[in-house]
Amino acid sequence: MTEKLTDLPQWKALETHHAEFDRVNLRELFKTDPARAERYFAQAGDLSVDYSKQLVTDETLRLLLDLARERGVFELRDWMFRGEKINLTEDRAVLHVALRAPETERIEVDGADVVPEVHEVLHRMAAFSARVRGGEWTGATGKRIKTVVNIGIGGSDLGPAMAYEALKPYSMRDMQFRFVSNVDGADLYEATHDLDPAETLFIVSSKTFTTVETVTNATSAKKWLLAGLGGDESAVAKHFVAVSTNAEGVSAFGIDTANMFGFWDWVGGRYSYDSAIGLSLMIAIGPERFEEMLQGFHTMDEHFRTAPAEKNLPLLLGLIGIWYRDFWDAQTLAVLPYSHYLSKFTAYLQQLDMESNGKSTRRDGEPVEWQTGPVVWGTPGTNGQHAYYQLIHQGTLLIPADFIGFDRPIEGTDPFGQHDALMANFFAQTEALAFGKTREQVEGEGVPAAQVPHRIFRGNHPTTTVTARRLTPSVLGQLVALYEHKVFVQGAVWDIDSFDQWGVELGKVLAKKIVPELSSDAAPEHDSSTNAAIERYRADREP
Ligand code: F6P
């Protein structure tokens, strides 16, 4: 892939096509094609995806698919599934798909099949989860574990925290699950101040086991535990387990590696919650439900690997995203789940998408000359409708949005029958965004003349509608894998390494330098703004 993306004939064709697009709008597209909703619809597993309210035509999709073919997306996908080292800057395979591969599959990295190791860890996790859930694993004083606290950050927090929230109705309700990530001591304090250390299990989750936030929180948690249990270090073994790829680091921290659950360098942090990083989730929902979730992931993996391009959902959604990002200059993507249980889903996707595709260097080291990943944002409906939807409907920005909803609530979670009210809003919003309200319609309602311009909705705001019957562990796995592969497709077209994250390093290094400066009298050595801020902080710092 040597030719520059923007020099490709397929790219140029999309530019020309876009220039003709100001004459096209969704009202017209639906009017002239009664079968549009049927044609721009695809299914994978339990997910139904309607992309008919996107600003696309057959020609757009054809050109985008041509671009994907030209950029070698299918080849790169196959290399990923085969365990090739497609994470070039770290010289690593990218094999989160192996985490949910059935035991019968064979996937090799450097000539060794990784699937048996994956299942060996899953079996150990299942045995451990069963012991904690069943009360056989007790704390140092013999008390049953009532609260599990996961300590991790980024991919070692967002995935399990999101999935625990999403699948709470399937969880053991007589246990509590908490997630501590922020190095702000308030996070750990709030998570522990009302707990009995004798009944608390900490899972320290860190791929590298060097992340400052996690090591700091884990060290403080150990102090809290020992203070509460009389200081006997041997208690640690019953109250701390680790999830990591770094056995040495785990051991140095004081956790017995017999209580460590491993994973591998071919699992990226933001692609890891279906590895041992999901241990807290497995304890919450049980090994069977966790297995259902893995099967859901695998269903989408298989769809992405084998479905024809024209109906391949991660491919289509990835390409439609590129259409807006690079040809319409849309800077953001709103992901709007109409489910209270998906309240952390978009935050999870922020890391998945923005840490993967927030890059401006091509795989060969040259700068990109096109737009890459969007800002991903959003919160569950209907709350957003009363906050920021005004801007989506009538602001000056183009904001493509993904709407995610379910035909039925999770069993037992809607005792008062509010689901129709929720979903009526879900359907109403994508309709309003697409078709708006014309001047004639507003005037026809007898609106005072001065208000008419303010009450017009120009419409033509693109949305994708993703639905499933119900949010289950399997459906969650399918949803996450859909976005994982969508991000993959975009990175492949943009020719960036979606699997490294060098952009988070500089801040970490500078913070390390600043820590001792905050309690020192020596003049800080930064720019004048940073120096002044540090000096003001020192002057006001608690002694
Ligand atoms: O800040 C970047 C990052 O490396 C993420 O990619 C990762 O998910 C997170 O930090 C946590 O890393 P670890 O699991 O090694 O503690």
DSSP states of 279-317: HHHHHHH-HHHHHHHHHHHHHHHHHHHHS-GGG-HHHHH
How many structural domains is the chain composed of?
A: 3
End-to-end Cα separation, the chain, in angstroms? 59
17: annotated active-site residue: no
CB 157 within 8 A of CB 150: yes
Quote the CA–CA distance of 71 and 496 in Å, as a whole number: 12
Model-level pTM? 0.97
Structure letter (DSSP) for residue 450: G
**What is the model's pLDDT at position 2?**
60
Same domain, 393 and 517: no
Structure letter (DSSP) for residue 45: T
Cβ of residue 208 lying under 6 Å from some atom of ligand 1: yes
Cβ of residue 504 lying under 6 Å from some atom of ligand 1: yes
**What is the model's pLDDT at position 3?**
78
Same domain, 431 and 466: yes
Q: Where are the alpha helices (H) located in 203-285, listed in sequence order?
A: 212-228, 236-239, 247-253, 279-285
Q: What is the ipTM of this complex?
A: 0.98
Same domain, 452 and 512: no
Same domain, 452 and 353: yes
How far does residue 480's CA lie from ligand 1's centre (Å)? Answer: 18
Boundaries of domain holding 515? 508-540
For residue 152, the number of C-alpha atoms closer than 13 Å in the C-beta half-sphere is: 33
Cβ of residue 245 lying under 6 Å from some atom of ligand 1: no
Identify which of 182, 204, 207, 499 to mutate to test ligand 1's pocket (most ligand atoms within 8 A of the CB).
207
Same domain, 273 and 407: no
Domain boundary residue, one of 450, 474, 498: 474
> What tens-digit pLDDT sequence spans the chain (543 residues)?
567 999 999 999 999 999 998 778 999 999 999 999 999 999 999 999 999 999 999 999 999 999 999 999 999 999 999 999 999 999 999 999 999 999 999 999 999 999 999 999 999 999 999 999 999 999 999 999 999 999 999 999 999 999 999 999 999 999 999 999 999 999 999 999 999 999 999 999 999 999 999 999 999 999 999 999 999 999 999 999 999 999 999 999 999 999 999 999 999 999 999 999 999 999 999 999 999 999 999 999 999 999 999 999 999 999 999 999 999 999 999 999 999 999 999 999 999 999 999 999 999 999 999 999 999 999 998 999 999 999 999 999 999 999 999 999 999 999 999 999 999 999 999 999 999 999 999 999 999 999 999 999 999 999 999 999 999 999 999 999 999 999 999 999 999 999 999 999 999 999 999 999 999 999 999 999 999 999 999 999 988
Residue 197 forms part of a structural domain: yes
- CB-CB neighbours of 56 under 10 Å: 24
CA–CA distances in Å: residue 88 to residues 73, 80, 305, 369, 426: 16, 12, 21, 20, 41
| CATH code assigned at 272 | 3.40.50.10490
> Measuring from atom 8 of ligand 1, which residue has the nearest CA?
155
Of 355, 393, 485, 517, which one is the catalytic site residue? 355
Cβ of residue 373 lying under 6 Å from some atom of ligand 1: no
**What is the model's pLDDT at position 527?**
97
CB 204 within 8 A of CB 255: yes
Instruction: Name, in order, each residue with C-beta under 8 angstroms of 499's C-beta and a sequence gap of 6 or more.
Output: 86, 87, 90, 92, 94, 268, 356
Domain boundary residue, one of 289, 305, 339: 289
Same domain, 250 and 367: no
Cβ of residue 216 lying under 6 Å from some atom of ligand 1: no
Residue 152 forms part of a structural domain: yes
**What is the model's pLDDT at position 190?**
98
Residue 270 forms part of a structural domain: yes
Residue 318 forms part of a structural domain: no
How far does residue 207's CA lie from ligand 1's centre (Å)? Answer: 7
Which residue matches tokens 């994973």? 263
CB 491 within 8 A of CB 71: no
Cβ of residue 197 lying under 6 Å from some atom of ligand 1: no
Quote the CA–CA distance of 38 and 227 in Å, as a whole number: 63
Cβ of residue 278 lying under 6 Å from some atom of ligand 1: no
- Among 176, 188, 183, 118, which residue's Cα sits nearest to residue 154? 183
- Among 517, 490, 486, which residue's Cα sits nearest to residue 67? 490
Q: What is the 3-state secondary structure (H, E, C) of 263-287?
A: CCCCCCHHHCCCCHHHHHHHHHHCH
CB 205 within 8 A of CB 275: no
Strand pairing partners for 337?
Answer: 404
> Measuring from atom 1 of ligand 1, which residue has the nearest CA?
504
Residue 314 forms part of a structural domain: no
Same domain, 38 and 130: no
Q: Which two tokens stand for residue 429?
A: 């919003």
Quote the CA–CA distance of 522 and 543 in Å, as a whole number: 16
Quote the CA–CA distance of 151 and 164 in Å, as a whole number: 14
Counting DSSP H helices and E strands in the chain, the numbers are: 22, 13
Query: What per-residue string of b and e applies to 168-202 under the rule 16 or more CB within 10 Å gives b?
Result: bebbeeebbbbbbbebeeebbeebbeebebbbbbb
355: annotated active-site residue: yes
How far does residue 190's CA lie from ligand 1's centre (Å)? Answer: 23
Question: What one-letter code names the amino acid at 314?
Answer: P
Of 12, 119, 123, 508, which one is the catalytic site residue? 508
| C-alpha triplet 276, 177, 181: angle, nearest 5° | 70
Same domain, 280 and 352: no
Which residue matches tokens 């049953």? 144
Residue 256 forms part of a structural domain: yes
CB 152 within 8 A of CB 205: yes
Cβ of residue 269 lying under 6 Å from some atom of ligand 1: yes
Residue 176 forms part of a structural domain: yes
How far does residue 501's CA lie from ligand 1's centre (Å)? Answer: 9
**What is the model's pLDDT at position 23?**
78
Quote the CA–CA distance of 42 and 48 in Å, as a whole number: 6
Quote the CA–CA distance of 188 and 296 in Å, as a whole number: 33
Same domain, 115 and 223: yes
Question: Rounded to the nearest 5°, which phi and psi values hold at 519?
Answer: -115, 20
Same domain, 271 and 397: no
Residue 304 forms part of a structural domain: no
Cβ of residue 207 lying under 6 Å from some atom of ligand 1: yes
168: annotated active-site residue: no
CA–CA distances in Å: residue 467 to residues 4, 427, 428, 460, 475: 37, 11, 15, 21, 10
Identify which of 87, 94, 211 to mutate to test ligand 1's pocket (most ligand atoms within 8 A of the CB).
211
Same domain, 389 and 431: yes
Domain boundary residue, one of 234, 263, 289: 289
Same domain, 228 and 365: no
> Measuring from atom 6 of ligand 1, which residue has the nearest CA?
269
